[in-house]
């Protein structure tokens, strides 16, 4: 049995850069790259998640991920949380779209996004059963990157009762950045069910089943979301971390969790 869906790493189409040079390859959506991905989805009969630097009609640059089905472009996710190195080039997105394909509902988070647990919870509250987490994360060995990912990605899966699928770029790009690769698939218990961690280019195939999802979500002691108390968390949306001397405060997205329930 072949794949129903293929997820490529962050910015795989244009390549990753946190420099102004990325503007030269950023494109409006729809554009040449988008059209090519849609054709690939149509010709193969599978859903394709692919990343590119997007330029809007105001000239702003986003790290974006396309969701293309055999029927056409389903939508785009714009990276919401930008690393300190990216903030001078990219703009952060402010929308959390969820998508449905063959009965499965999913969301997309990009690399640095995955360090913010509120984002994953919001996707889960909007119905996501799978979180796809494409990365363009350089530096370190595959083993070091795997150790880093296993600190936080299992928590995103376990706390929210969702599958998490993460993949990373590999090799050295034209900016001189070296990516160690790595791909992981975690079930809703936060357990690794598939992985590729030797740093070489590869395709990792995993089967995500409704039975594994039900195993968690139909168990009152394993599925935590229904027992949340949003009224206790109101301060979370308004509180801001204290900035160190010389640092700029970063505001949180102004979203009321209550409205998602």
**CATH code for residues 5-240+250-260:** 3.60.110.10
pLDDT tens readout for residues 67-93: 999 999 999 999 999 999 999 999 999
The mean pLDDT of 197-211, rounded to a whole number, is 95
Residue-range domain boundaries for the chain? 5-240+250-260
More confident residue, 245 or 8: 8
Q: How far apart are CA 75 and CA 31, in angstroms?
A: 13
- Place 238 in a pLDDT band, splitting at 50, 70 and 90: confident
Share of the chain above pLDDT 70, in %: 91
Q: In this predicted structure, what is the pLDDT of residue 246?
A: 56
Q: How far apart are CA 99 and CA 175, in angstroms?
A: 33
- Predicted TM-score (pTM) of this structure: 0.90
pLDDT at residue 241 greater than cutoff 90? no
- Place 244 in a pLDDT band, splitting at 50, 70 and 90: low
Chain-centroid distance, C-alpha 127: 16
Pure H helices in the chain: 32-44, 117-125, 142-160, 210-217, 234-238
pLDDT tens readout for residues 131-163: 999 999 999 999 999 999 999 999 999 999 999
For the chain, give the number of residues.
261
Closest CA to 223 of 233, 238, 231, 212: 212
Q: In this predicted structure, what is the pLDDT of residue 254?
A: 38
């Amino acid at each position: 049995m072949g794949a129903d869906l293929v997820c490529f790493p962050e910015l795989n189409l244009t390549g990753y850069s946190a420099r102004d040079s990325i503007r030269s390859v950023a494109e409006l959506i729809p554009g040449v790259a988008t059209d090519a991905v849609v054709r690939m989805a149509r010709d193969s009969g599978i859903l394709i998640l692919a990343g590119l630097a997007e330029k809007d009609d105001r000239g702003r640059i986003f790290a974006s991920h396309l969701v293309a089905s055999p029927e056409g472009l389903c939508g785009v996710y714009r990276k919401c949380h930008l690393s300190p190195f990216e903030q001078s080039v990219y703009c952060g997105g402010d929308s959390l779209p969820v998508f449905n394909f063959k009965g499965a509902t999913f969301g997309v988070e990009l690399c640095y996004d995955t360090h913010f647990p509120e984002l994953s919870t919001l996707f889960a509250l909007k119905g996501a059963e799978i979180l796809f987490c494409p990365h363009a994360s350089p530096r370190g060995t595959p083993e070091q990157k795997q150790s880093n990912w296993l600190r936080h990605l299992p928590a995103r899966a376990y706390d929210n009762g969702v599958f998490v699928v993460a993949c990373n770029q590999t090799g050295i790009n034209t900016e001189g950045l070296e990516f160690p690769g790595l791909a992981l698939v975690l079930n809703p218990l936060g357990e690794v069910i598939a992985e590729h961690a030797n740093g070489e280019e590869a395709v990792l195939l995993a089967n995500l089943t409704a039975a594994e999802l039900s195993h968690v979500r139909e168990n009152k002691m394993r599925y935590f979301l229904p027992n949340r108390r949003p009224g206790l968390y109101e301060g979370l949306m308004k509180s801001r971390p204290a900035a160190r001397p010389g640092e700029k405060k970063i505001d949180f997205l102004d979203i009321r969790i209550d409205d998602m329930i």
